[in-house]
Structure 1
Amino acid sequence: MTAESLLHIGDILGAHGLKGALIVFSHTRPAQAIAGYSCWWIGKTAATAKAYPVRRCWQHGKRMLAELEGVSDCDQAALFKKLKVWVPIDVVETDDDEYLWEELIGCRVIKEGTLEPLGTVTALEEYGAQDNLLVQTPDDAAEPGEWLIPFIEDVVTDVNLDDCVITVDLPEGMDVCFTPRS
């Protein structure tokens, strides 16, 4: 499995209990969807990740707990703390109107109608109500800086992954979501 073919879906926060369960922070939506993958690749990076069949995975409060094949006590489980959970990207299913964050990073963002370039998506951030695109303007822009654009239907009007272009319709007042670079 190559690093490029793996998708980061969670982080291991530590061990839970004497039988070697792991506390996992899930990046999937809903969080319980992480339980749907029968094999996780675990490592510090995708390149160093190794496959571990999932014996059991369940929700426990705000976190997920998981038991892996070959991990049977708290000492073994403790070795997984701060590692990342990956799955092969080809097993991840999305609806037509859903996108993986990894697919959006690097896309150009343009204003609807004018096709004026705003910049490039450098990250996505989750702020409870919705995800937000972090868009970096080009260094040679008239006003270099960063946009924080809500990834919602009213603002993001089109996502073209083939051309790696996201079209946005910024409502009046969105200039407060721009931070100039000093």
Structure 2
Amino acid sequence: MGRVYGILGWLNFFSFTENQETIFSYFPWFILKNKKWEIIKLKNWKQHNNHFIIQINNITNRSLASKWTNTEVFISSNQLPKLDQNEYYWNDIIQCKVFNITNKYLGIVINLISNKYNDILVIKNEFKKNHTKKTMIPFINKKIVTNVDIKNKIITVKWN
């Protein structure tokens, strides 16, 4: 959840689901607050520019809402639709080891970024002690990403 919106306790909210409104069909929502999982109950939501604003039950003013800013929302993975063979969620790709087609280890996936052209793998590689390098590789299936093995957590790419 982003910053507070207005004086009545609304919060800016950004969805990272493929169809952004789909997030409102996955309930309950959870947050990790003070090392404890809490359930969020939504009172209302609205489309606002390129994101949403939400109202959480019992959050009625700006001061109460400010305690919820910069909080990530989680859902249970069993709420997600079942995928066909050779399909995967972004979350499945995180922590995959990445090798190029000559079997050179490039690093581990730490994030994915989406832009209007294609998704991008963010790879972390500790190639020297205390020295970390990040590499960004376009996720272009078959052209750059040649294989994704979710079971063994290995991705093969055409990349040096």
- For 1:23 and 1:94, how far apart are their aligned partners in 2? 29
- For 2:52 and 2:98, how far apart are their aligned partners in 1? 35
Q: CA deviation at 1:100?
A: 3.1
Residue aligning to 2:40: 52
Matched-pair contact (CA < 8 Å) for 1:44–1:84: no
Q: CA deviation at 1:164?
A: 0.5
The CA RMSD over aligned residues, in Å, is: 2.6
Asked if residue 38 in structure 1 is aligned to residue 27 in structure 2, the reply is yes
Alignment of 1:1-182 (within 5 A): 12-44=1-33, 47-93=35-81, 95-96=83-84, 98-112=87-101, 114-139=102-127, 145-153=133-141, 154-170=143-159
Q: CA deviation at 1:93?
A: 2.9
1:34-71 residue CA offsets vs partner (Å, 9 max, x unmatched): 222232213457x4331012233232111211122222
Q: CA deviation at 1:87?
A: 1.4
Which residue identity is paired with 2:67?
L
TM-score (norm 1): 0.70
Matched-pair contact (CA < 8 Å) for 1:44–1:82: no
Q: CA deviation at 1:98?
A: 4.6
1:102-145 residue CA offsets vs partner (Å, 9 max, x unmatched): 32122111223x333322223323333222112234526xxx84
- For 1:64 and 1:157, how far apart are their aligned partners in 2? 36
1:152-172 residue CA offsets vs partner (Å, 9 max, x unmatched): 2122122111111112234xx
Which residue identity is paired with 1:89?
S
- Which consecutive residues of structure 2, in runs of 5 or more, have no partner in the other structure? none
- For 1:39 and 1:68, how far apart are their aligned partners in 2? 12
Matched-pair contact (CA < 8 Å) for 1:15–1:77: yes
TM-score (norm 2): 0.78
Which residue identity is paired with 2:81?
E
Give the share of equivalent positions with the same residue, in percent: 25
The aligned length equals 155
SS of structure 2 residue aligned to 1:76: helix
